[in-house]
Amino acid sequence: MGTTRSWLQSLVNEYNNVNNPDLPTVALTPAVDVSPVDSPLTLTISVLGYLYLTAHWGQGQTQDHTQAWYLGGSLAIFTLNAPGRNGLSGYRLWNQVPVNPPPPVPDAGATGLLLAMGVVALWTGSRRGQNRLG
C-alpha cells in the first residue's frame, strides 16, 4: 500500500510542477481498498466523494499494470476497463472529501407565513397611501 501511495504522490507532484492550481496531497492510506474475487475485465464503481482512484490489473502476472485517475470529488460513477487481457486485481479510492448536501427545503408552514406577512405588508402600505390622498 505504501508503494502505491508513493507512486500516486509522485504522479501528483509531477502534475503540480507543471500546472496551477495544484492537486491535493495524497492521503496516507486509501479510504477504500477492494480486491474483487473474480478479476473482472470491466467494473463500474461508485466514486462520489473521492479525489483519486488507483487500479491494479493482473496480480502476479508477468505483464501486470497499474493505473491512476484524479476524480475531483464530484464524479458519481467510474467504469474500470482492463488495458489488456489481465483482470482487475484491486482498486483503491483515496482522499475522501465531504459531498455537499442539497440545500434544505423550507417547510410549507414557514413559506406560508412569509407569504402572508408579505401580503399584509403590501395591504397595509396601500391603505396608508389611500388615507393620505383622501
Q: Each residue's pLDDT tens digit in the chain (134 positions)?
A: 579 999 999 999 999 999 999 999 999 999 999 999 999 999 999 999 999 999 999 977 677 899 999 999 999 999 999 999 999 999 999 999 987 766 676 666 666 666 777 777 777 766 665 655 55
- What span, in angstroms and rounded, lies between the C-alpha atoms of 125 and 120? 8
Q: Are residues 61 and 86 in contact, defined by beta-carbon separation less than 8 angstroms?
A: yes
Q: Are residues 12 and 28 in contact, defined by beta-carbon separation less than 8 angstroms?
A: no
Strand, coil or helix: what is 125? helix
Model's pTM, two decimal places? 0.72
Q: What is the pLDDT of residue 119?
A: 76
